[in-house]
Amino acid sequence: MCGIVGYLGHRQAVPIVVAGLKRLEYRGYDSVGIAMIGDGKVKAIKTAGKVAEIEALVAADRGAASVCIGHTRWATHGEPSDVNAHPHLDCHNHIAVIHNGIIENYSVLKKKLVDSGHFFRSSTDTEVLAHLIEELSRWSKGLEEAVRQALQQVQGTYGVVVISDREPDTLIAARHGSPLVIGHGEGEYYIASDASAIAEHTRRVSYLDDGELAVITRQGMRAKTLGDVETTKSIQELAFDLARIERGGYDHFMLKEIYEQPETIRDAMRGRLLAADGEVKLGGLEHVRDRLVGARRIILVGCGTSWHAALVGEYMIEHIAKSPVEVEYASEFRYRSPVLSANDVVFLISQSGETADTLAAMREAKSKGAAALGIVNVVGSTIARESEGGVYIHAGPEIGVASTKAFTSQLTVLALIALYLARARGISSEDCRVLAQELQSLPTKVSYLLQVSGRVKELASEFKDARNFLYLGRGANYPVALEGALKLKEVSYIHAEGYPAAEMKHGPIALIDENMPVVFLAPKDALYDKVVNNIHEVRARRGRIIAVANEDDREIEQIAEFVLRVPRTYGFFGPIINVIPLQLLAYYIAIARGVDVDQPRNLAKSVTVE
């Protein structure tokens, strides 16, 4: 989603903020801007363009400003434009505000402010904050008090940073539902919505919690609640490898992250899977082991790719651990008033750990007494901090907007949870050992698969001009079909749909003709013969068949026009391998179509607003 960067210290602030904004470009955005305090005045520069344009505008005149804030915007209220870009200023250009989130009651506040004589330049909800702070500054004792009073009137979500030329050595930040991390340096402070923006400058960070406000000056940082109660913020050491957020010789982050999967799958298992002993150790779940074993049901909740991972997890956990599982869209979960109790366990799956709908689902589950556990990638994220436990996926920073390595790491962790729960529910160590050794073999198989992936490039040239794709799978590979279709839509802008293969006859078969590429997930598992029958049905209607099949399958060559080979594995672990050719197919088709795969249009990496 939108990105925030701020700096207050003894160095030139503008280059630091611009560099931080470049680090956040992967999140997706449509406009960018900065505001600095120089020569005793607030100066804002913004554009409906890329960070490089801001960089060029300030290259010749960086000035000596030691306070600066910057923002990359993903449009919600108001189209992408220069005037709608952040920062937003008050009537007299004394106050600058950057904001992630949505002010739900902005229209009511705006009307009151207009009636009081304020004039607005943009059509955003955020500009209301600048004018509201200006209005309250007339009566308050200073900027801190004005910001606090303004936020008490706001309904919605926000991560907000404010500066004013009337208090040029102060930076104020606050959050409610949108993450902010504060970096501590030597006589200097950084603030960002994502730690990747500031990791090159400091590893000592504090995280603001919902309802907190931070006042940062050259003398230090103070944190308070919006009710003006002092809070204590611990400083944590950020574990961050900067090399992981560089392309490292690859043309795009998406391709790099696809090729990192042997390592990231291994990292998800490292220290947890004791294959020789048939054991799984998950320290983040040990304190809720009894609740897991005795759960009436396990509910897996996520959005987008994480929801697809949850669907695969349902097959894994029910088959291996024999525990009942339900899967829910986080965006719908709380709005249907779910019936939950202390006998339920809810896993919240989110790469960022900040997804707004998944956060809301977690809080709904906790309010009704269910155990709320996280499966997240980002250490220190809100779900990681507010959940009652869980498991990190350890995929490292994922920069490409279209999730790849996080998906397979989520599947790996869900497989570990299935084995962990199965052992707790009485499966023998020998049976677990067989499954654990197969799981342990996956990184090697994925590495081999990536070395022989040249066939995918040929398909990209063949199908780059297709207008539609259909992806079909059965059992645990049905969610893989959904994920493959999603990847293609996200990065190539080709319409694609994923379906259970057997459901094809209930509608989608009407679309099939000689121009329709149909991708089948056809591993040699218990449902193979059923999938072959579905392939024959498509072939009879002249559809163009692409099959993802095992290396030893010779029958498939007789009925599929194209075959993408994958190593064979245990059926319910198959999705971890079978999705990778589909990730590559989406990537290479997008490249052939000239699309920016790392920053596809209209998409954001972390969806922190509803």
Q: How do residues 31-60 score in pLDDT, each as one tens digit? A: 899 999 988 899 999 998 888 888 888 876
| SS3 (DSSP) at 500 | strand
- Residue at which a domain ends, from 397, 416, 440: 440
Is 446 among the domain residues? no
Picking from 440, 466, 498, the residue at the C-terminal end of a domain is 440
**pLDDT (0 to 100) of residue 244:** 63
Average pLDDT of the chain to the nearest whole number: 91
CATH number at residue 463: 3.40.50.10490
Its domain, for residue 117, covers 3-240
Residues linked to residue 149 through DSSP beta bridges, in sequence order: none
Question: Which one is catalytic: 22, 110, 256, 605?
Answer: 605
Q: Checking phi first, is residue 278 left (phi over 0); if not, alpha (psi -120 to 50) or beta?
A: left
Judge residue 89's burial from the number of C-beta atoms within 10 Å of its C-beta, 0-12 exposed, 13-18 middle, 19 or more buried: buried
Which residue of the set 2, 68, 303, 432 is catalytic? 2
Residue 177 is classified by DSSP as B
Average pLDDT over residues 516-526: 94
Does the residue 410 lie in any domain?
yes
For the segment 440-455, the average pLDDT, to the nearest whole number, is: 90
Instruction: Tell whether 262 and 229 lie within a shared domain.
Output: no
Could you tell me where the beta strands, DSSP code E, fall in 466-596?
A: 468-473, 495-500, 517-522, 544-550, 562-566
Task: Judge whether residue 241 has pLDDT over 80.
Answer: no
CA distance 68 to 62: 11
Do residue 259 and residue 309 come from a single domain? yes
Active-site residue, 2 included: yes
In a domain, 70, yes or no: yes
C-alpha 351/C-alpha 382 separation (Å) is 12
Over residues 160-181, the pLDDT tens digits come to: 999 999 999 999 999 998 889 9
Distance between CA atoms of residues 456 and 522, nearest Å: 16
Task: Provide the pLDDT for residue 239.
Answer: 72
Q: CB atoms < 10 A from the CB of 346, how many?
A: 28
Query: How much is the average pLDDT of 396-424?
Result: 93
Q: Distance between CA 37 and CA 63 in Å, rounded?
A: 10
Q: Roughly how many angstroms between the first and final C-alpha of the chain, as a whole number?
A: 11
Secondary structure of 426-491 as H, E, C letters: CCCHHHHHHHHHHHHCHHHHHHHHHHCCHHHHHHHHHHCCCCEEEEEECHHHHHHHHHHHHHHHHH
Query: What's the pLDDT score for residue 139?
Result: 82
Would you say 553 and 524 are in contact if contact means Cβ atoms under 8 Å apart?
yes
Closest CA to 480 of 374, 566, 400: 566
Sign of CA dihedral 343, 344, 347, 348: negative
Mean pLDDT of 259-272: 94
Task: Report yes or no on 535 lying in a domain.
Answer: yes
Q: What is the pLDDT of residue 378?
A: 85
What stretches of 47-172 show up as alpha helix (H) in DSSP?
51-59, 106-115, 127-137, 143-153
pLDDT above 90 for 62: no
Let me know whether 161 and 119 are in one domain. Answer: yes
Could you give the CA distance from residue 466 to residue 543 in angstroms, rounded to a whole number? 12
**Identity of the highest mean pLDDT range in 50-59, 82-91, 195-204:** 82-91
pLDDT band at 561; cut points 50, 70, 90:
very high
Specify whether 120 is located in the same domain as 262: no
479 and 415 co-located in one domain: no
The count of structural domains within the chain is: 3
Average pLDDT rounded to a whole number, residues 327-346: 92
Rounded-to-integer distance, Cα 383 and Cα 352, Å: 9
* Single-letter amino acid, residue 221: M
pLDDT of 604 strictly over 70: no
Residue 583, token pair as written in the block:
């990730």
139 lies in the same domain as 14 = yes
Q: Rounded to an integer, what distance in angstroms lies between the CA atom of residue 386 and that of residue 362?
A: 9
Q: What size, in residues, is the chain?
A: 610
3-state secondary structure of 69: strand
- Average confidence (pLDDT) over 143-152: 94
Residues 393, 463: one domain? no
Spell out the SS3 assignment of 235-258. Answer: CEECCCCHHHHCCCCCCCHHHHHH
Region 17-21 average pLDDT: 92
Q: DSSP secondary-structure letter at 507?
A: T
Check if 405 is active-site: no
pLDDT at residue number 1? 62
Q: Is 202 a residue whose pLDDT tops 70?
A: yes
Q: What is the C-alpha separation between 70 and 13, in angstroms, rounded?
A: 10
The domain spanning residue 45 has which CATH number? 3.60.20.10
In a domain, 51, yes or no: yes
Is 432 domain-assigned?
A: yes
435 neighbors 570 (Cβ within 8 angstroms): yes
Band (598; pLDDT cuts 50, 70, 90): confident
Which of 418, 440, 462 marks a domain boundary? 440
Which pLDDT score is estimated for 93?
94
Of 83-92, 308-317, 375-384, 517-526, least confident by mean pLDDT is: 375-384
**Measured between alpha carbons, how far is 581 from 529 in angstroms, rounded to an integer?**
22
| Unique residue bearing structure tokens 């009485």 | 426
CA trace torsion 15, 353, 144, 190 (10° rounding): -20
142 shares its domain with 80:
yes
Answer yes or no: are the C-beta atoms of 371 and 288 closer than 8 Å. Answer: yes
Which residue, 481, 493, 557, is CA-closest to 518?
481
Inside any domain, residue 431: yes
pLDDT confidence band for 605 (50 / 70 / 90): low
Residue 238's pLDDT band, with cuts at 50, 70 and 90, is confident
Assign 317 a pLDDT band (cuts: 50, 70, 90).
Answer: very high
pLDDT tens digits for range 454-489: 889 889 989 999 999 999 999 999 999 999 999 999
* Predicted TM-score (pTM) of this structure: 0.77
DSSP state of 412: H
Instruction: Indicate if 346 and 215 belong to the same structural domain.
Output: no
| DSSP per-residue letters across 27-64 | G--SEEEEEEEETTEEEEEEESS-HHHHHHHHHS--TT
Nearest 5 degrees, angle CA 337-CA 392-CA 214? 75
Q: Are residues 515 and 434 in the same domain?
A: no
Task: List phi, psi (to 5°) of 495.
Answer: -65, 130
- Are 282 and 188 members of one domain? no
Looking at the structure, do residues 163 and 195 belong to the same domain, yes or no? yes
pLDDT bin (cut points 50, 70, 90) of residue 245 is low
Sign of the dihedral defined by the CA atoms of residues 428, 429, 431, 432, in that order: positive
Alpha-helix runs per DSSP H in 138-213: 143-153
- The answer to whether residue 609 is domain-embedded is no
User: What pLDDT does 473 receive?
Assistant: 96
3-state helix, strand, coil in the chain (%, to 5): 40, 25, 35
Q: Would the CA dihedral through 438, 443, 448, 449 be positive or negative?
A: positive
**How far apart (Å, rounded) are the C-alpha atoms in residues 242 and 244?**
5
The pLDDT assigned to 606 comes to: 56
Mean of pLDDT values over 113-128 = 94
Listed range (151-165, 244-258, 497-511) with the worst mean pLDDT: 244-258
Question: 60 vs 102, which has greater pLDDT?
Answer: 102
Structure tokens at 5: 């960067």
For residue 16, pLDDT over 80 is answered with yes
Grade residue 24 by pLDDT with cuts at 50, 70 and 90.
confident
The identity of residue 250, as a single letter, is Y
Question: Higher confidence at residue 400 or residue 315?
Answer: 315
> Is the per-residue pLDDT at 503 higher than 70?
yes
Angle at alpha carbon of residue 210, lines to 205 and 216, rounded to 5°: 45
Over residues 338-393, the pLDDT tens digits come to: 999 999 999 999 998 888 899 999 999 999 999 999 999 988 888 998 999 999 99
